[in-house]
Amino acid sequence: MTMQRPAVTYQDHWKTEGYDHISVTPINPVVGATVEGIDLSRPFNDAEIAEVRRAFLAHHVLVFHDQNISEEQHKAFGSLFGELHVHPLKHDAANNRGGDPAILEIRTTANSKYTAGGAWHADVTCDERPPASSMLLIRQIPEVGCGGDTCFANMHKAFETLSEPMQEFLRTLTAVHDGAIPYVGAYNTTPPEGGYPRNEHPVVVRHPETGREVLYVNPGFTSHIKGLSRFESQSLLEMLYRHVEKRLDIQCRVSYRPNTLVFWDNRCLQHQAAWDYYPYSRSGGRVSMIGHRPTREL
């Protein structure tokens, strides 16, 4: 099978100049940018959204501060980037805390037993078609005025910084992603009838818009790699997770103000919420947009 070359490369997108409607300031050259000049509580025009899309593909995480928007406006902005996703916890009455089906409440207080997203992960990779992107709007930051950053890792870079023999080997593998790992194992919920979603995805996939390769296993959801012994699978996954954790050069941290909206690309990132603000509280809501089934070739 011949390998398709991406039509548009990462480098083509990575230009801070040439934005007429928004202003884009990278957090670092690898991942993350702050976007100014757009008010998400007002109607947007196509030119603004086209520039947001370009910045999104270039930087993978976009940070919009001071966006005091309603749930409807949050969903409307998300809908521009795909069909809204309903989280597996929302499908089940026993675990669903109510509210709009498309909005996942993110709330951690002094009484919380865990914080959502407290381990490195991409959102809901247990789904057959995991969210392509998510938008987290943090309305309340910890009363102490700091803490509660989200850390992001660029999973293109995670793959590209492995040795060529390792890259070649990983391209041949498939992994199982299981919703029971976070939702039962970490959150202690009761599984719905039929269980949480469980799906297989290639260990190396291509970003559907840029064609760039991505390391696609994460400690939040990946249970094992098919065809390897349990020991081999665990050892290989641990090595890959340590690789992502220790490479500060592929990561950024995003800090919040009240009403900061963070928009990230789940197809090429992992993230982890820092619970460094106990006993203070942090809250908001997340919408996610359904993506394609992750594939090795486009």
Kindly tell me which of 116 and 205 has the beta carbon lying closer to ligand SIN: 116
* Closest alpha carbon to 274 in 296, 248, 255: 255
Torsion of the alpha carbons at 158, 203, 173 and 12, rounded to the nearest 10? -60
Please say which residue, 157 or 271, places its beta carbon nearer to ligand SIN.
Answer: 271
Q: Which of 78, 88, 117, 179: binder of ligand SIN (CB under 6 A)?
A: 117
Cβ atoms of residues 40 and 69 within 8 Å: yes
Residue of 61, 286, 291, 294 that binds ligand SIN (CB under 6 A): 286
Residues 233-262 that bind ligand SIN (CB under 6 A): none
If one asks whether residue 63 binds ligand SIN (CB under 6 A), the answer comes out as: no
* Catalytic-role residue among 60, 121, 177, 201: 121
Q: Is 136 among the residues that bind ligand SIN (CB under 6 A)? A: yes
Residue 271 among the catalytic residues: yes
Residue 281: Cβ within 10 Å count: 17
Binding-residue pattern over the window 79 to 98 for ligand SIN, x denoting contact by CB under 6 A: --------------------
Beta strands in the chain (DSSP E): 23-26, 33-36, 61-64, 104-108, 131-140, 150-154, 174-178, 198-202, 204-206, 213-215, 222-225, 251-254, 260-265, 269-273, 282-290
Q: Does 106 bind ligand SIN (CB under 6 A)?
A: yes
Give the separation between CA 4 and CA 298, rounded to whole angstroms.
7
Q: Does 27 bind ligand SIN (CB under 6 A)?
A: no
Judged by CB, which is closer to ligand SIN: 202, or 220?
220
Interface ranges with ligand SIN (CB under 6 A)? 106, 116-117, 136, 150, 271, 273, 286
Residue numbers annotated as active site: 121, 123, 271, 286
